Amino acid sequence: MQELDDRQTRNWTLGITALASFMMALDGQVVTTAFATIRSDFDASVETLQWTVNAYNLSFAVLLLTGAAIGDRFGRRAMFAGGIFVFALASVGCALSGSAASLIAARAVQGAGAALVMPLAMAILSGAFPKEERAQALGIFSGVTGFALIIGPAIGGFITESFGWRWIFWINLPIGLIAIALVFSRLRESFGSSAKLDIPGLAIVAAAALALVWGLLRGNMAGWSSRETVGALATGTLLAVAFVAWELRASAPMVPMRLFRARAFASGVAASFLFYAAMYGMLFLLPQFLQAALGYGPFGAGLRLLPWTATLFLTAPIAGALVNKAGERPLVVAGLLMQAIGLGWIAINAAPGMTYSELVAPLLLAGVGVSMAMPAAQNAILGSVAATEIGKASGVFNMGRFLGGMFGIAAMVAVFSANGAVDSAASFSAGFAASMRVAAGLSLLGAVAGLWLPARRRVTLAQLPRNA
């Protein structure tokens, strides 16, 4: 009877955390096919428009480690519900925004809410499942999140064409209210370490991330050799070094640097940073390419992302189940090589006269590849730490994921601006192709990082105990 109750509790935990993750991912995806319409309504440039993504990612990335620490100290369930509430409330602000600046500000608040939700979702989920079942649970979790990737662009395009882009944010309200009710009725409260918050570390890493991203975003407009760009990048680098130095001496570090001594943790974080950089950059530019260069509307562009996004839902649960048999390294390396080939294939073919059918095969290849790598990298990171540090490990993973996303978008927009423009289909295609080459290169580097993951040990008969 107790075993049945525990199983039901784990199933509810998986369902609720996946629902919250679904809401966060859906919000990111419904926006992608609305970018062209938002740019037109607010008369905003591509450089300005990317801040609607990067404001979210920046506040998320720099606050999520604090979000994980707050949950560990004051209760993961309570803070998890609080993050969903902040996210839903900020969605109302996005829907009511009257300018690009107000939309960017509301997106930053959304990111703060997500900074509570995402690391705590993974901590709650990982804590509920025994180690031998965790990889499969994370695979299902990633698959549900991937379902938001499947339907998000199409839903966003349909809503944008039918009701206007503001309605893509209103859909977060009913999902958020349902999720909060389920959190308090079905999840058990849990706690992690009660160490004090690392406020100086938070301030340093926030300033470092802002300076580095600012330098990347302003490089093409202000000039890569300008005082503004060079100063921002240099300041960000120095602050990043200062952050590491502070964390090494802090009594209660936000990011315990000893975690990086584990190969699985360090390699998993590095590979995740790189493949999310490629994925987010592609996700920012591909829907706009389908509209600006190939002539599809928002809804049509969303539907045509399905060969890529559907693989995340179908492949991630299977890959999660394979981790325990094959180990993380083969899935991460092979998956990211597949993504690199798929994105390089798109870069070669990208042109105004191309047919959509030329995109299907490379989209499938890239999608299956990243869907293999995603749950394997997550399992490598979370499986390399003690149970009491899963919250911090989840925070580091998510921070690397979103900093990677910001870096990927900033780098690819910089390459796009240097090689193309939005004034014609030919110019957009030239910039897009150059950006996809960068995305392919980032994926290839991710595969190289994955080579440092430890190999899964195989137990032979000679190694078994005599009385086994």
464 pLDDT above the threshold of 50: no
Tell me the whole-structure pTM to 2 decimals: 0.72
Helix 131-162 × helix 306-326 angle, to 10°: 180
Q: Of 261, 383, 394, 264, which Cα lies nearest the Cα of 324?
A: 383
Q: Which of 291-300, 336-345, 351-360 has the highest mean pLDDT?
A: 336-345
DSSP SS3 for 296: coil
pLDDT of residue 362: 95
pLDDT digits (tens, 9 = 90+) for 302-329: 788 888 877 776 776 777 778 877 888 9
pLDDT of residue 5: 61
Percent of the chain at pLDDT exceeding 70: 91
For 255, phi and psi rounded to 5 degrees? -125, 95
User: What 3 state SS string does 431-443 have?
Assistant: HHHHHHHHHHHHH
Output the six-digit token pair for 225.
């050799």
Contact partners, residue 360, CB within 8 Å, separation at least 6: 307
pLDDT digits (tens, 9 = 90+) for 407-446: 888 889 889 988 888 788 899 999 999 999 999 999 999 9
pLDDT of residue 431: 93
pLDDT of residue 123: 78
pLDDT digits (tens, 9 = 90+) for 268-309: 999 999 999 998 888 888 988 998 888 888 788 878 888 887
Please answer whether residues 38 and 165 qualify as being in contact, where contact means their C-beta atoms are separated by less than 8 angstroms: yes
* Distance in angstroms (rounded) separating the CA atoms of residues 195 and 69: 8
pLDDT of residue 150: 67
pLDDT digits (tens, 9 = 90+) for 208-254: 877 887 787 677 678 878 999 999 999 999 999 999 999 898 887 87
